[in-house]
Amino acid sequence: MREKPFTILVADDEENIRLLYSEELEEEGYKVIAAADGEEALTKVVELKPDLVVMDIKMPGISGVDALIKIKEIDRNLPVILCSAYSDYKQDFSTWASDAYVVKAANLDELKKAIAEVLAKRYPDS
């Protein structure tokens, strides 16, 4: 068991979504930091070095997909989970770089499950 909780960066342009994700994920025992767009997300990845990024695809400025590519350039081992309103964006090969793909839904069970799986895969020792 890890002493320090995993830090998850949630990037979404919707404030309410950020709040929802933050509360839900903190309840799950994660430390949550939030970013309102792709730009901010990239900065916080560099500064705060989160263990995992949950990112909306459709954001003003740098889109989720573009941000994903940039994050992988910074730290190709940092897991990124993409969220989208669309159910099957995964057919776009540019999303293949993400570690998981989750359709946005009010029920966050799927997201939580994906986070757990990705983390377990990335940090098998913890």
Partner 1 sequence: MKSQQKNEILSKVIEISSADSQISDRLTQIARFLCLKGVAPTLAFYLLHPRGRRLVLRIAADSGGALRIPAPACTYRLPAPEIPLCRPLGTLLPNPLEPENTPSHDQLLQRHPHGWCLPLADETRAYGIMALLNGQPFSVPSDSIRFLQVICRQITLALRSSMIQERDRLLVHQLKFLHQIGARLNADSDIESIFSQLPDSAPAFFANSLSRLHIFATDLHPATIMDFGGHDPEQQAVADRVSRSQSDRVRFLSHPLVIDRRNGNRSDNNAYREFFSHFLLHIILPLPSRNQNLGTLEFFLINTPESRELLPLDGEELELLEILAVHLAATIERTRTRDQLATASRTSLLRNRQLTLLHQIKNALLAANTVERIIRLTLGALVSREGFACPAALYIECGDNPIVGEVFYALSAAAPAAASPTENDELDHGEELARQLLTASEKLPEEARKKLIGLTLPPLETTPPRFQQALADGKPVIIPARLAFSIDSRLENLLEGQKIVIIPLAGQEKASGLIMGVADHISEDDLNYITLFTDAAGLALDNIRLYQRLQDSLASLNNAQMRLAQSEKLVALGEMATSIAHEIKNPLVSIGGFARRLHRKIPDQSREKTYSRIITKEIERLEGIVNNVLSFSRPEVEDYTPHDLNLLIRETTDLFTRELKKRQIELQLDLLPDLPPVECDGNQIKQVLINLLNNSIQALSDRKDGERGFIRIRSSSFSELESRRQAALIEIEDNGGGIQESVIHDIFNPFFTTKHEGTGLGLTICYRIILNHQGDIRLHNQIGRGVTVIITLPLKRQ
Binding site for partner 1 (CB under 8 A): 14, 16-17, 20, 23-24, 58, 85-88, 91-92, 103-108
Q: How far is the CB of 18 from partner 1 (least distance, A)?
A: 10
Q: How far is the CB of 125 from partner 1 (least distance, A)?
A: 32
Residue 78 vs 108, nearer CB to partner 1: 108
Q: How far is the CB of 72 from partner 1 (least distance, A)?
A: 20
49: alpha, beta or left? (left if phi > 0; alpha if psi -120 to 50): left
Structure tokens at 14: 């919707």
Nearest alpha-carbon partner for 55 in 84, 22, 31: 84
